[in-house]
């Protein structure tokens, strides 16, 4: 497809030239504004051309990738589900065994304290709960139990909701701690 506009190197050279022109351009009158608009349309046209050329080359790769992903997705999902099931069962067993061990250690400690009050406490982790290549990691997480009691520093503003309010009210609504402001962008069609 590059052939319609010249060689690949010619197209890349034109893209680089347009970049240099745009980076040095200033607009101080109507003529410069019109010239800038024409350059912008050229940029949009060349960008569209390059993007279509790229897509014509990558679409077959994307389709091949999609087919491979589909082929592997079911067995990989089964393996992931099996892994999750076993990890949960192992974690439950290990946690249960540790709880039993702590209870047993507490009883043994209290009995030892009765017979020898100044003896140091020694706890031994049972080796039967260890499997080579398997380790246990405890991660602390959270769940919200009462939103009304959460301190302010842990609250996050609803940015999506605020963006909707900005669009609907065009900044006329006053919300303490929030500033609504316009952000102007320019769009252009490609030149042919």
Per-residue pLDDT of the chain (192 residues; tens, 9 = 90+): 455 556 788 889 999 999 999 999 999 999 999 999 999 999 999 999 999 999 999 999 999 999 999 999 999 999 999 999 999 998 889 888 888 888 888 887 777 777 776 766 565 555 566 778 888 887 888 888 999 999 988 899 999 999 999 999 998 999 999 999 999 887 788 776
Residue at 184 is within a domain: no
Buried b (16+ CB within 10 A) or exposed e, 56-67: eeeeeeeeeeee
Contacts of residue 5, Cβ cutoff 8 Å, sequence gap at least 6: 11, 14, 46, 49
> Could you list the residue range(s) of the whole structural domain that residue 61 is in?
2-167
In a domain, 129, yes or no: yes
Residue 10 lies in a domain: yes
Residue 178 falls inside a structural domain: no
Is position 180 within any domain? Answer: no
Overall pTM > 0.85: no
Supply 165's token pair: 């309010």
The count of domains in the chain is 1
In a domain, 174, yes or no: no
The rounded Cα 9 to chain-centroid distance in angstroms is: 36
* SS3 of residue 37 by DSSP: helix
Q: Does some domain include residue 68?
A: yes
172 is a domain residue: no
List the one residue out of 184, 180, 182, 186 whose CA is nearest residue 159: 180
């Amino acid at each position: 497809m590059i052939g319609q506009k010249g060689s690949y190197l010619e197209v890349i050279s034109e893209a680089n030239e347009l970049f240099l022109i745009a980076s040095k351009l200033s607009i101080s009158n109507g003529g410069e504004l019109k010239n800038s608009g024409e350059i912008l349309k050229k940029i949009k046209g060349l960008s569209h051309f390059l993007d279509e050329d790229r897509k014509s080359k990558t679409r077959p790769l994307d389709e091949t990738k999609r087919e491979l992903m589909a082929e592997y997705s079911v067995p990989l999902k089964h393996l992931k589900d099996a892994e999750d099931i076993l990890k949960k069962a192992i974690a439950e067993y290990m946690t249960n065994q540790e709880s039993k061990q702590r209870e047993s250690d507490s009883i043994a400690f209290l009995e030892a304290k009765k017979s020898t009050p100044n003896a140091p406490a020694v706890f031994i982790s049972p080796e039967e709960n260890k499997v080579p290549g398997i380790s246990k990691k405890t991660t602390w997480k959270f769940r919200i139990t009462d939103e009304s009691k959460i301190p302010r520093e842990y609250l996050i503003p609803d940015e999506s909701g605020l963006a909707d309010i900005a669009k609907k009210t065009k900044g006329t609504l006053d919300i303490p701690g929030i500033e609504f402001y316009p952000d102007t962008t320019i769009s252009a069609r490609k030149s042919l």
